[in-house]
Amino acid sequence: MINIRIRYFASLRDIVGTSEELLTVEEQTQVADVRALLVRRYPQLQPVLERSVNAVNHRYVKVETELHAGDEIVFIPPTGGGRA
C-alpha cells in the first residue's frame, strides 16, 4: 500500500468540501483508478472529472500513469471563459 495526496481546486473543491485529501491505495494504482474511486465516493464529480486534465507532481500526465508513494495528484477542471 502507498499513500498519495489529492489536491482539489475550484468546482472540485466545492463538491468534495475540502482542498486536499490523503488516500492509501495499492501499489501499481493508476490515475484512472483514483478517478474511478473518487467518482464512486463523490458521484457529483463525474461530469467535472470527465473534462479535467490530470497532473502528478506538477506535471500533466495520462490516466495510465502509475502512482508512487508520496505522489500529489491534481485534477484541473476546465475554466470558464469570459469576454475579451
Residue 83 within any structural domain of the chain: no
The answer to whether residue 82 scores a pLDDT higher than 80 is no
Q: What is the dihedral of CA 75, 45, 14, 55, to 10 degrees?
A: 0
Q: Which three cell numbers stand for residue 30?
A: 493508476
* Host domain of residue 61: 2-67
Residue 11 within any structural domain of the chain: yes
Global model pTM greater than 0.85: yes
pLDDT in tens, 30-53: 999 999 999 999 999 999 999 999
Cα angle 76, 15, 83; round to 5: 55
Residue 84 within any structural domain of the chain: no
Residue 42 within any structural domain of the chain: yes
Beta-bridge partners for 61: 54
Residue 46 within any structural domain of the chain: yes
Q: What is the CATH number of the domain that holds 54?
A: 3.10.20.30
The answer to whether residue 24 scores a pLDDT higher than 60 is yes
